[in-house]
């Protein structure tokens, strides 16, 4: 059976440490930092977004169980890079600096990210 196209690794427009805004879904409008990028599935984990709860069973004798919260991954197409200075989300384009480095630039503001 041939591999499906979605499982193929591809270059994502966001990296770890980027500030992004969620543009669709339950957490629409929230702004947070990318904690982890998962290129294999094209997903990202954003701080404070898509919070899930997990009931943790007690491991040792006498220890009580607890409810842990964690950020679940969301698809990278549902986030957009966010400019802290201009307070606006924007698409990105790739451009070259004078010294020939390829960098990411916000289309709306012209701000260079890397």
Q: Torsion-angle region of residue 11: left (phi > 0), alpha (psi -120 to 50) or beta? A: beta
Read off the pLDDT of residues 9-50 as tens digits, 9 standing for 90 and up: 578 899 999 999 999 999 999 999 999 999 999 999 999 999
In what helix (H) or strand (E) does residue 51 lie, and over which residues does it extend? strand 51-56
| 112 pLDDT more than 70 | yes
Write down the pLDDT at residue 6. Answer: 54
Nearest C-alpha neighbor of 22 from the set 56, 73, 57, 62 = 73
List all residues 6 or more positions away from 102 whose beta carbon is below 8 Å from its beta carbon: 94, 95, 96
Rounded to two decimals, the pTM is 0.79
5: pLDDT confidence band, cut at 50, 70 and 90?
A: low
Look up residue 98 and give its two tokens: 């004078």
């Amino acid at each position: 059976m041939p591999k499906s196209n979605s499982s193929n690794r591809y270059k994502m427009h966001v990296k770890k440490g980027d500030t992004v805004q969620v543009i669709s879904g339950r957490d629409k409008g929230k702004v947070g930092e990318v904690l982890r990028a998962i290129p294999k599935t094209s997903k990202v984990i954003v701080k404070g977004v898509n919070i899930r709860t997990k009931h943790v069973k007690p491991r040792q004798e006498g220890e009580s169980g607890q409810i842990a919260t964690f950020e679940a991954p969301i698809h990278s197409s549902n986030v957009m890079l966010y400019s802290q200075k201009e307070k606006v989300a924007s698409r990105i384009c790739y451009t070259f600096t004078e010294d020939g480095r390829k960098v990411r630039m916000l289309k709306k503001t012209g701000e260079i990210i890397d």
